[in-house]
C-alpha cells in the first residue's frame, strides 16, 4: 500500500480507523524521499528525528483515545523561508546557510499544535525571488513530471515534493504567484489565501504587503483542512485581519448551479499557449454544462499589474533585505577593512544575482528623484487595479484564467533573461496586487504530458466560495491525479 | 558678530517612559546588562514583525496637546532606510509624510518677555541601539538594549534667535515632558537629545542663510556651546568672503568644535516609504479629546500664573517651575491659603532647595508636608516665632516627623510679644547701659544694635526682635 | 532609460564585479523599460482609514529568551555584544 500517494483526508480516515499508524505513514513518505529525492531535490533540510518522534507521539495519543486534530500525524513539508525554531531556515541563500531561528513562525506553531509531522524544509528560489527555483543557492529542484524541466517557483520545492510523493501537504509562500505557478507546473493544487488571513509572523519577508503563506496539496479538501489550521488573526502580525474564520472544511459543497464565473479576457490573449487556453476553456464549458453562468469580464488595468508588482515588490524587498549585513546573524565576509567594506562584501558574496537585481531595482525606484515616477505611481495603480476587481466582483463570484502562460520550461532556458522569466507571473500577480484569494488547480496535460494549471480568483475573504468552486470542479472532472508517473 | 542674528530650529528626541518598547514587549529600561533586554523583534531577526504600542500613541498626543498641535487622528508610519550597526533592521520605523501631531506652538519666557515658537511637527519613532568603543579593542561593540525604545521627535520652526531662547525652549520642553510624566528626561542617560539646525543672517534681513545641521548634542549646555561655536564659524566665513555650505556637522563637546560629517552632495538618501508591516493608525476623536482633558497645568502656563497672581519674579517662578517637586509643593501650599505666596516661594527657593541639594532627596519624600510648612511660615508671619527659630523647626520636622506646633512648644520657641514685658525689659537694659545710651544720643547710631542685642540676650532670645527694636528706638528718642 | 548601476549598487551596499556590470546594466534597463510602461494616472497616495490597525497594550514581558539564544547566529560576539569593525560617526 503506497501511503505516500494518499491524500491527507484519506490518511486521516485511515489513522482513525487504525488502518495504519502515523509512524507507518511517516516511514512510507520517508522511504519515498530516500528513493526519489536524488532526482527531484525538493528538500534543503530533513528533520527526520523530530518527525519520527512526533509520529510516535501521535500514535500514542490516538491509542489512548485522545481527540486529535484531523491532520494530526500527516507529514508536511515547509518552505525554507518560514521560520522553524531549532531547524535551519536558509531561504535557499548563502546569506542564511547556517541560520537557525530561535522562534517558530505562527503557522509553524499552529501546525505543531495540530500535531502534524514536519518532514523538513523545502527548496525555493533564493529569498523567494524567481519563478523556477533555479536561483536557489542550495540546490536544483527538478519537475517530477520531467526532470529536465523546472518545477516553477519560488515554492518549487513545495510543489515538487507533493507531486513526487515526498510530502502529503506542504506550505509555500506567494508574493506574485510563488504558490500557484509551481503548483500549476507540477500539476498539484496550490492556494494563495486573502492577504491578512494567514499570519506572516516568522515568514522571512520578501515583499511585506504582498507575501502570503498558503497550502499546497493533492486535493481541494486537503487544502481546506490545512488552511483551517493556519488561518486566523494573529496579534503578532499587525496586518492580519481580526475576524471570524469559519471552518472551510465543514462547508465544502459541490454545486455549479448559479455559480457566476467571469472569464478574464485579458488573460486569454496573445502569448498564451493554445493548449493552455483550450484546456481552461474546456473547464469553463464543464462548469457551464453543470449550470454555472459564464460571463466575459475585463480588468482594463490588468496589463499593468506586472509592472506594478515588480516596482512594489522590489521596493519592499530592497528594504526588507537590508538587515542582512553580517552583524547579527547569517553570513559575514571573511575579508574587509572597514564597516562599509564588511557590509558590501558580505552582501555581495551572500546574495545571488537575482536577489541583487531586485534589491537594486527596489533601491532605484525608491531613490530620491524617482520615487514619484515609480513607487508612488505603482501604488496608485495598485489601488486602481483593486477597485477594478471590486467592480467586476459585483456581478460575479469567481474569475477563471490560466495560471501560467505555458507549461514547465527547461532548466536554464530563461535564466539569462529576467524579463522573460518575469512573464511567468503575468496572470498570478494580480491576486497579490489586489490582496485576493486565488487557487491553481491541475486541469489537463499538454502534448508533452506536462501539467497545465487553471486559476480561480475570488474576492477578498471569499475563501469558502472560491474553494467550493474548486471543489465542484474537482468533483466534476473526477478528481486530480497529481502524482508523477515517471519516478 | 553684533551685526548678525542667529536662526535656529531644533529637533528634540525624547525617549518615552513606557513599560514596553515601541514595537515589541521587551522591557523599556535603562542601564541593564548589555543585550539582555532584547528579543527577535527588536534585534531585527528575519520574519519578525512590529506591533505598535498604544501608550506611545497616547503620549505623543499628550505632547501634541501640550504644544497646541493639530492631532492627525489618521496617520501612518514610514521606513527610513540607512545602514548602521546600531540599527538592526537597517531601517528606522518613523513617520515621514503624516506625523501624529503638527502645526503647534510653544510660549517661552526670555527676559520676562513671552516668545512664541512654532512647532512644525511631533512624530513617533524607534530608538536605535548603542555602539560601545573601547581603546583596548580593535572593533566596536553593539548593544541593542535601547533598540526599539519609543521616541517622540519634536521639530520646531526656525524661530529661535538667541542662545537664551534656545535654552528657555529646551528647558520648557523638558519640564513639559516631566509634567506630563511621559519621559524621564535624564540627560546623562541620553533620554533627551537634540539636533540643531542653524544659520546666520545680517540683522534686519528677512531671508534665511544657508543652514547647517549639527548632531551629537547631548546636553542643553552643549547645545548652547555648539550654537555659539557654529554661529561664529558661519559669521567668520561670511565676513572673510566665504560661503556657508549646507552640510551635516558633528559637535565634539570635549574639543568644543564641530566637524563636517556629510556634505550636501553625499547626503543620505533615506528612501522613505510607507511601512508595509503596519496599517493605518486611526485614533478615536473622543480619545483625543479625553487625553486633552487629562492634561495637567503645564509649566509655562504655571509660570505666567505665578508671576501674575502671586507676584513672583520671573526668576523665582522659573526656579520653582523647573523642578517638578518644588512646584508641586508650592501649588499645594498656595492652595491651603494659610500664608503669603511670596514667603512660600522664599522658603522653597531658600532653605528647602538647600536641603534638597545637600541631601539629594526630594522634599516630597520627607515629613515636611505642605500643611506643616505653611503652619510654620504662618507662625513667622504672625510673629509667634522668629525666622531663625523657624529654620530649626523645619529641620526637626524633617528629622523627627513632628508637628511644628509641638516642636515650638517643646523647645519654647514662642517669641515674647507682650508689650508691657518688652518695655520693662528695654528700660532695664537701657538703665544698665547708660554709656551706650549716651553714645547713641551723641550720634553713634550703631549703639542701638548693641542695646537690642542686650535685650535679646536678657530674654534668652525670646523677645520678638521686631517689637523690641521699635520699643528701644521709642525709649531712646524719649 | 539608462541607469547608474554603480551608484545604485553603492546605495544598496553591494559591490558588482567589473565583468558583471554590463550584464546587470542591460538586465536592469530591460526591467526598467518594462515597468516604465505604467501610464501616468491621477491620484494621491491617500491614507487608508478603512484599514485600521489594532494597537498593542503597553505590557512588558521579561526574559523570554536568553542572550545566548539570541546571539547564537551572530558571526562575532564579545562580552555579550555583537562585534563590528571600528565605527565612530
Ligand atoms: Mg528622527
Ligand atoms: Zn524586543
Listed by start position, the domains of chain C span 5-36
A154 is catalytic: yes
A423 near C CB under 8 A: no
* Domain count across chain B: 3
Quote the cell numbers at residue A229. 489550521
Within 10 angstroms of residue C17's Cβ, the number of other Cβ atoms is 8
Q: What is residue A116's three-state secondary structure? A: coil
Pick the ligand that lies closest to the CA of residue B92.
1
CB contact under 8 A, C81 and B137: no
Of B411, B427, B446, which one is at a domain's C-terminal end? B411
- Say which residue, B414 or A478, is predicted with more confidence: A478
On the question of pLDDT at A200 being above 90, the answer is yes
What's residue B267's pLDDT?
82
Mutation for testing the B interface, residue in C10, C11, C13, C47 having most B CBs under 10 Å: C47
With contact defined as beta carbons under 8 Å apart, do A52 and A94 qualify?
no
Are residues A367 and C16, on separate chains, in Cβ contact within 8 Å? no
Q: Which chain A residues contact residue B46 at CB under 8 A? A: 83, 89, 91, 96, 99, 101, 204-205, 323-324, 329
Do B245 and B340 lie in a common domain? Answer: no
pLDDT at residue B457 above 80? yes
For A123-145, write each residue's pLDDT tens digit: 999 999 999 999 999 999 999 99
Q: Give me chain B's average pLDDT, please.
A: 93
Looking at the complex, report in whole angstroms how far the Cα of residue B59 sits from the nearest Cα belonging to chain A.
20
**B341 and B283 share a domain?**
no
State mean pLDDT over B172-178: 93
Per DSSP (E only), the strands in B91-169 are 91-94, 101-110, 113-126, 130-133, 139-143, 150-156
Considering only CA atoms, give the Rg of chain B: 30
Interface contact flag, B26 C82, Cβ < 8 Å: no
For strands C81-85 and C77-78, give the pairing: antiparallel
Q: Which domain holds residue B119?
A: 4-292
Angstrom distance (rounded) from CA A173 to CA A140 = 19
Nearest to A272 by CA among A452, A467, A474, A466: A452
- Write out residues 23-52 of C within 8 Å (CB-CB) of A: 24, 27-28, 30-32, 34-41, 43-45
Which of A236, A367, A371 lies closest to B49 in CB terms? A236
Largest CA distance in chain C: 56
pLDDT for C5 equals 92
* HEC readout, A369-394: CCCHHHHHHHHHHHHHHHHHHHHHCC
* Percentage helix, strand, coil for chain C under 3-state DSSP, each rounded to 5: 35, 10, 55
Q: Which of B370, B385, B411 is the last residue of a domain?
A: B411
Instruction: Spell out the alpha helix ranges (H) of B19-162.
Output: 54-66
A178 is catalytic: yes
Does any domain span residue B297?
A: no
Kindly give the distance from the C-alpha atom of residue B126 to the centroid of ligand 2, in angstroms, as a whole number: 12
Q: What's the sign of the alpha-carbon dihedral A183, A184, A187, A190?
A: positive
pLDDT score, position A97: 98
Q: Would you call B20 and C61 a contact, using CB atoms and an 8 Å cutoff?
A: yes
Look-up of cell digits 477597485: A387
Same-domain pairing of B384 and B472? no
Task: Give the pLDDT band (50/70/90) at residue A358.
Answer: very high
Residues of B with CB below 8 A from C55's CB?
A: 51-54, 57, 281
Q: What CA–CA distance (Å, rounded) separates A238 from A359? A: 25
Task: Select from A387, A451, A383 the least CA-distant residue to A184.
Answer: A451
Among A199, A238, A315, the strongest candidate for a mutation testing the B interface, having the largest count of B CBs within 10 A, is A238
Q: What is the pLDDT of residues B156-167, one digit of tens each?
A: 999 999 999 999
C78 reaches A (C-beta below 8 A): no
Query: Of these residues, A30, A90, A136, A178, which one is catalytic?
Result: A178
* Contact status, residue A158 vs residue A119, Cβ threshold 8 Å: no
Tell how far CA A233 is from the center of its chain: 20
Classify residue A458 by its DSSP letter. Answer: E
Please report the DSSP string for B4-25 in residue order: EEEEEEEEEEEE---SB-SSS-
Pairing mode of beta strands A212-217, A189-192: antiparallel
The reply to whether CATH 3.90.1300.10 applies to domain A3-259+394-477 is yes
Cβ contact B88–A343 (<8 Å): no
pLDDT tens track for B256-276: 999 999 988 778 899 999 999
Q: Which three cell numbers stand for residue A23?
A: 509512524
User: Angle at Cα A397 formed by Cα A396 and Cα A402, nearest 5°?
Assistant: 95
Q: Which residue has the cell 510654620?
A: B376
Q: Which cell numbers hold the place of A70?
A: 484531523
Which residue of C lies nearest to B76 if distances are taken between CA atoms? C47
Contact A121, A90 (CB under 8 A): yes
C-beta atoms of B271 and A325 within 8 A: no
Q: Are B175 and B299 in contact (CB under 8 A)?
A: yes
Residues B224, B251, single domain; the answer is yes
Catalytic member of A54, A79, A218, A460: A79
| C-alpha distance from A329 to closest chain C C-alpha (Å) | 4
Nearest CA in chain B to A200: B47
Cis peptide before A154 (omega within 30 of 0): yes
Cell numbers at A486, concatenated: 515517471
pTM metric for this prediction: 0.91
Give me the tens of pLDDT residue by residue for chain C, a chain 89 residues long.
778 899 999 999 999 999 999 999 998 898 898 888 888 887 777 788 888 999 999 999 988 999 999 999 999 999 999 999 998 76
Segment B106-137, tens digit of pLDDT: 999 888 788 999 999 999 999 999 999 988 88
Quick check: A419 contacting B, CB < 8 Å?
A: no
Give the separation between CA A175 and CA B54, rounded to whole angstroms.
30
Say which CATH number the domain at B453 has.
1.10.10.410
Task: Answer yes or no: do B258 and B142 share one domain.
Answer: yes
The answer to whether residues B266 and B385 belong to one domain is no
- The environment of the single-atom ion ligand 1, i.e. residues with CB closer than 5 A, is B 153
Which 362-401 residues of chain A touch chain C by CB within 8 A? 363-365, 367, 374, 376-381, 383-384
A22-47 pLDDT tens trace: 999 999 999 999 999 999 999 999 99
CB contacts under 8 A, B 68-127 vs A, are 79, 81, 83, 85, 88-91
B315 falls within a domain: no
Q: Are residues B394 and B434 in the same domain?
A: no
B302 in any annotated domain: no
* Residue C37 to residue A380, Cβ atoms within 8 A: no
- Within 8 A by CB and 6+ apart from B435, the residues are none
Three cell numbers at A6? Answer: 494518499
Q: What distance in angstroms lies between residue B171's CA and the mean position of ligand 1's atoms? A: 20
Amino acid at each position: 500500500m503506497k501511503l505516500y500517494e494518499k491524500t491527507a483526508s484519506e490518511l486521516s480516515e485511515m489513522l482513525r480507523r487504525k488502518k495504519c499508524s502515523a509512524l507507518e505513514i511517516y516511514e512510507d513518505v520517508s522511504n519515498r524521499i530516500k528513493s526519489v529525492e536524488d532526482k527531484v531535490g525538493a528538500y534543503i533540510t530533513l528533520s527526520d528525528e523530530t518527525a519520527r518522534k512526533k509520529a510516535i507521539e501521535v500514535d500514542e495519543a490516538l491509542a489512548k483515545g485522545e481527540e486529535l486534530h484531523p491532520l494530526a500525524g500527516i507529514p508536511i513539508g515547509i518552505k525554507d523561508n518560514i521560520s522553524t525554531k531549532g531547524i535551519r531556515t536558509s531561504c535557499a541563500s548563502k546569506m542564511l546557510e547556517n541560520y537557525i531561528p530561535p522562534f517558530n513562525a505562527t503557522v509553524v506553531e499552529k501546525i505543531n499544535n495540530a500535531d502534524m509531522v514536519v518532514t523538513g524544509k523545502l527548496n525555493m528560489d533564493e529569498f523567494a525571488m524567481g519563478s523556477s527555483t533555479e536561483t536557489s543557492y542550495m540546490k536544483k529542484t527538478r519537475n517530477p513530471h520531467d526532470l529536465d524541466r523546472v518545477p516553477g517557483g519560488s515554492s518549487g520545492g513545495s510543489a515538487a515534493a507533493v507531486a513526487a510523493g515526498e510530502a502529503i501537504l506542504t506550505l509555500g509562500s506567494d508574493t506574485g504567484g510563488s504558490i500557484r505557478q509551481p503548483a500549476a507546473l507540477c500539476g498539484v493544487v496550490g492556494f494563495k489565501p486573502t492577504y491578512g488571513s494567514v499570519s506572516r509572523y516568522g515568514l522571512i519577508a520578501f515583499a511585506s504587503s504582498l507575501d502570503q503563506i498558503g497550502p499546497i496539496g493533492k486535493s481541494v479538501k486537503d487544502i481546506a483542512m490545512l488552511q483551517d489550521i493556519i488561518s486566523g488573526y494573529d496579534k503578532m502580525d499587525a496586518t492580519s485581519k481580526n475576524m471570524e474564520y469559519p471552518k472551510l472544511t465543514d462547508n465544502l459543497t459541490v454545486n455549479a448551479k448559479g455559480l457566476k464565473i467571469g472569464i478574464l479576457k485579458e488573460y486569454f490573449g496573445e502569448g498564451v499557449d493554445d493548449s493552455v487556453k483550450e484546456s481552461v476553456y474546456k473547464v469553463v464549458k464543464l462548469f457551464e454544462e453543470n449550470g454555472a453562468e459564464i460571463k466575459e469580464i475585463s480588468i482594463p488595468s490588468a496589463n499593468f499589474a506586472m509592472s506594478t508588482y515588480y516596482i512594489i515588490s522590489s521596493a519592499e524587498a530592497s528594504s526588507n533585505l537590508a538587515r542582512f549585513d553580517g552583524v547579527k546573524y547569517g553570513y559575514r565576509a571573511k575579508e574587509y577593512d572597514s564597516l562599509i567594506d564588511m557590509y558590501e562584501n558580505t552582501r555581495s558574496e551572500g546574495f545571488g544575482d537575482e536577489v541583487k537585481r531586485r534589491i537594486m531595482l527596489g533601491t532605484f525606484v525608491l531613490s530620491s528623484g524617482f520615487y514619484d515616477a515609480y513607487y508612488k505611481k505603482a501604488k496608485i495603480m495598485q489601488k486602481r487595479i483593486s477597485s477594478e476587481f471590486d467592480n467586476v466582483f459585483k456581478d460575479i463570484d469567481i474569475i477563471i484564467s490560466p495560471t501560467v502562460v505555458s507549461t514547465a520550461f527547461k532548466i536554464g532556458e530563461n535564466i539569462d533573461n529576467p524579463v522573460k522569466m518575469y512573464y511567468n507571473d503575468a496572470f498570478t500577480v494580480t491576486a497579490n496586487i489586489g490582496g485576493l484569494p486565488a487557487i491553481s488547480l491541475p486541469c489537463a496535460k499538454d502534448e508533452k504530458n506536462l501539467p497545465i494549471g487553471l486559476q480561480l480568483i475570488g474576492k477578498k475573504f471569499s475563501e469558502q466560495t472560491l474553494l467550493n468552486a474548486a471543489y465542484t470542479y474537482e468533483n466534476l472532472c473526477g478528481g486530480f491525479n497529481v502524482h508523477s508517473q515517471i519516478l | 558678530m553684533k551685526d548678525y542674528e542667529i536662526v535656529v530650529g531644533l529637533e528634540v528626541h525624547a525617549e518615552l517612559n513606557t513599560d514596553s518598547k515601541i514595537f515589541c514587549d521587551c522591557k523599556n529600561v535603562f542601564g541593564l546588562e548589555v543585550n539582555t533586554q532584547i528579543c527577535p523583534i527588536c534585534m531585527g531577526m528575519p520574519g519578525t514583525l512590529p506591533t505598535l504600542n498604544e501608550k506611545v500613541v497616547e503620549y505623543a498626543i499628550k505632547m501634541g496637546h501640550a504644544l497646541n498641535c493639530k492631532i492627525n487622528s489618521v496617520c501612518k508610519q514610514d521606513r527610513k532606510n540607512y545602514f548602521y550597526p546600531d540599527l538592526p533592521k537597517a531601517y528606522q520605523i518613523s513617520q515621514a509624510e503624516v506625523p501624529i501631531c503638527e502645526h503647534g506652538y510653544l510660549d517661552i519666557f526670555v527676559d520676562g518677555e513671552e516668545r512664541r515658537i512654532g512647532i512644525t511637527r511631533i512624530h513617533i519613532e524607534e530608538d536605535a541601539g548603542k555602539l560601545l568603543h573601547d581603546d583596548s579593542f580593535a572593533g566596536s561593540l553593539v548593544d541593542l538594549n535601547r533598540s526599539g525604545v519609543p521616541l517622540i521627535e519634536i521639530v520646531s520652526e526656525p524661530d529661535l534667535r538667541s542662545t537664551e531662547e534656545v535654552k528657555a525652549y529646551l528647558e520648557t520642553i523638558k519640564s513639559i515632558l516631566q509634567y506630563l510624566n511621559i519621559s524621564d528626561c535624564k540627560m546623562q542617560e541620553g533620554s533627551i537629545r537634540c539636533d540643531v539646525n542653524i544659520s546666520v543672517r545680517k540683522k534686519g534681513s528677512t531671508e534665511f542663510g544657508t543652514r547647517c545641521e549639527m548632531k551629537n548634542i547631548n546636553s542643553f549646555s552643549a547645545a548652547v556651546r555648539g550654537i555659539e561655536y557654529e554661529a561664529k564659524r558661519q559669521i567668520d566665513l561670511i565676513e572673510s568672503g566665504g560661503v556657508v555650505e549646507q552640510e551635516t556637522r558633528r559637535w565634539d563637546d570635549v574639543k568644543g568644535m564641530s566637524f563636517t560629517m556629510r556634505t550636501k552632495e553625499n547626503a543620505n538618501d533615506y528612501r522613505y516609504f510607507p511601512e508595509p508591516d503596519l496599517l493605518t493608525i486611526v485614533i478615536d476623536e473622543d480619545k483625543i479629546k479625553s487625553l486633552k482633558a487629562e492634561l495637567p497645568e503645564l509649566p509655562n502656563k504655571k509660570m505666567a500664573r505665578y508671576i501674575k497672581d502671586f507676584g513672583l519674579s520671573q526668576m523665582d517662578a522659573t526656579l520653582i517651575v523647573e523642578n517638578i517637586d518644588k512646584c508641586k509643593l508650592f501649588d499645594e501650599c498656595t492652595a491651603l491659603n494659610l500664608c503669603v505666596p511670596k514667603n512660600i516661594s522664599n522658603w522653597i527657593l531658600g532653605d528647602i532647595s538647600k536641603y534638597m541639594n545637600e541631601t539629594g532627596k526630594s522634599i516630597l519624600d520627607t515629613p515636611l508636608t505642605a500643611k506643616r510648612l505653611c503652619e510654620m511660615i504662618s507662625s513667622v508671619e504672625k510673629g509667634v516665632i522668629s525666622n531663625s527659630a523657624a529654620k530649626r523647626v523645619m529641620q526637626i520636622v524633617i528629622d523627627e516627623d513632628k508637628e511644628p506646633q509641638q516642636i515650638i512648644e517643646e523647645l519654647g520657641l514662642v517669641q515674647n510679644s507682650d508689650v508691657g514685658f518688652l518695655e520693662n525689659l528695654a528700660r532695664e537694659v537701657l538703665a544698665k547701659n547708660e554709656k551706650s545710651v549716651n553714645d547713641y544720643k551723641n550720634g553713634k547710631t550703631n549703639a542701638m544694635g548693641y542695646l537690642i542685642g542686650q535685650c535679646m540676650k536678657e530674654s534668652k532670645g525670646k523677645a520678638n526682635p521686631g517689637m523690641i527694636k521699635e520699643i528701644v528706638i521709642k525709649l531712646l528718642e524719649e | 532609460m539608462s541607469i547608474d548601476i554603480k551608484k545604485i549598487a553603492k546605495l544598496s551596499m553591494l559591490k558588482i564585479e567589473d565583468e558583471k556590470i554590463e550584464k546587470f546594466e542591460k538586465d536592469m534597463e530591460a526591467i526598467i523599460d518594462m515597468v516604465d510602461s505604467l501610464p501616468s494616472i491621477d491620484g494621491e497616495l491617500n491614507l487608508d482609514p478603512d484599514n485600521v490597525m489594532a494597537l498593542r497594550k503597553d505590557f512588558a514581558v521579561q526574559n523570554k529568551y536568553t542572550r545566548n539564544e539570541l546571539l547564537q547566529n551572530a558571526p562575532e560576539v564579545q562580552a555579550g555584544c555583537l562585534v563590528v569593525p571600528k565605527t565612530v560617526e
